C-alpha cells in the first residue's frame, strides 16, 4: 500500500500546486499596510477584522453550536461518542498517510497504513482504536503541515468564520486536504456534509469545558485563544518538544494535564 499511496500522493501535486501558489501569494500580501490599525500585533495584521469575525463566531456558538453540542452529549452516551470519534479518526487516516508521504515521512506513512488496516479490520470499520492498543500511535498529517515542511511561511493569522483560528498557509491546506483523502471522493456530497457536520459537533462537544474556561478566565479572550492555538499548532509542526495527543482539542498547553485517561 505505501508504494501505491506514494504514487497517488504524487498525482495529487498537480491538483494542489495552484493552492500552493495561492498560499504563497496571500502570504506575501498579508503584511501590515500603512492603514492598518495600531492594535494589530506582529503576525496578526488583520487583528481588527479577526476580532469582529470572532465576535460573530461566538454569537453563533452561543445560539447554535454549543447548545447542539450539549444536546449531543446529553443524548449520546460517552461509549457511543467514542465509537463515532474513532470512525471519524479512521476515515482521516488516508489523508494523514498522503501528507506523510508528501513530507517524506515514510516511516510515519507506514505506521499510518498499519493503523488504518488494523482499525478497519480488527477494529470493526474503525469503531475501536485497536492500533493504539497495539502500540501504533496516531500520527499527524495535514497539508498545512506539508506546506510548512516545504518551506512556506505561516502568513497572517486568520480567524475563519465558524472554523475558527488558522493562518494563510493552513487555510489553503484545509482546502487541499479535501482533495487528498480518497474517502472524500468515494462519498456523495451529502455524505461529506454529514461527516463534516458530525465531526464538528463532536469536536465542539469535546471542547465545551475548555472553551468556557478560556472565555471566563481571560482578560482578552481573543488574544488568549490565539496564543493557545499557536502553541498547539507549533507542537504539531514540531517547533516545540510537546508532540501532544489530539492536538485539535483546545486545551491550554500551560494548564495542568488531565488525570482522566482517554477512552478508546
- What residue ranges do the domains of the chain occupy? 2-30+42-236
What's this model's pTM, rounded to 2 decimal places?
0.76
- Alpha-helical runs (H) found in the chain: 2-29, 47-60, 66-75, 78-102, 106-121, 130-133, 143-149, 168-180, 182-186, 189-206, 208-216, 221-236
What pLDDT, on a 0 to 100 scale, did the predictor assign at position 262?
43
Q: Identify the CA nearest to 205 among candidates 262, 249, 146.
A: 249
The pLDDT of residue 241 is 61
> Has residue 259 got a pLDDT over 50?
no
CA–CA distance, 248 with 232 (Å, rounded to integer): 8
Looking at per-residue pLDDT, the higher value among 196 and 59 belongs to 59
Tell me what pLDDT residue 16 has.
46
What is the reported pLDDT for 4?
A: 52
Amino acid at each position: 500500500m505505501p508504494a501505491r499511496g506514494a504514487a497517488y500522493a504524487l498525482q495529487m501535486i498537480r491538483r494542489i500546486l495552484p493552492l500552493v501558489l495561492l498560499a504563497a501569494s496571500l502570504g506575501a500580501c498579508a503584511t501590515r499596510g500603512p492603514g492598518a490599525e495600531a492594535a494589530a500585533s506582529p503576525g496578526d495584521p488583520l487583528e481588527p477584522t479577526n476580532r469582529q469575525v470572532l465576535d460573530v463566531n461566538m454569537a453563533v456558538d452561543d445560539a447554535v453550536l454549543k447548545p447542539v453540542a450539549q444536546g449531543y452529549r446529553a443524548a449520546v452516551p460517552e461509549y457511543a461518542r467514542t465509537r463515532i470519534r474513532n470512525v471519524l479518526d479512521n476515515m482521516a487516516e488516508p489523508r494523514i498517510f498522503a501528507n506523510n508521504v508528501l513530507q517524506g515521512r515514510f516511516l510515519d506513512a507506514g505506521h499510518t497504513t498499519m493503523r488504518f488496516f488494523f482499525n478497519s479490520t480488527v477494529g470493526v470499520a474503525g469503531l475501536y482504536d485497536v492500533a493504539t492498543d497495539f502500540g501504533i500511535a496516531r500520527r499527524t498529517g495535514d497539508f498545512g503541515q506539508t506546506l510548512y515542511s516545504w518551506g512556506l511561511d505561516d502568513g497572517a493569522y486568520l480567524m475563519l468564520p465558524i472554523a475558527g483560528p488558522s493562518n494563510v498557509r493552513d487555510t489553503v491546506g484545509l482546502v487541499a486536504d479535501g482533495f487528498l483523502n480518497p474517502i472524500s471522493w468515494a462519498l456523495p456530497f451529502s455524505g461529506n456534509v454529514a461527516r463534516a457536520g458530525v465531526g464538528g459537533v463532536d469536536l465542539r462537544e469535546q471542547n465545551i469545558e475548555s472553551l468556557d474556561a478560556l472565555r471566563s478566565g481571560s482578560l482578552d479572550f481573543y488574544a488568549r485563544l490565539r496564543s493557545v492555538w499557536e502553541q498547539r499548532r507549533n507542537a504539531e509542526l514540531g517547533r516545540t518538544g510537546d508532540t501532544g495527543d489530539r492536538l485539535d482539542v483546545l486545551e491550554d498547553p500551560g494548564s495542568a494535564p488531565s488525570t482522566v485517561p482517554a477512552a478508546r
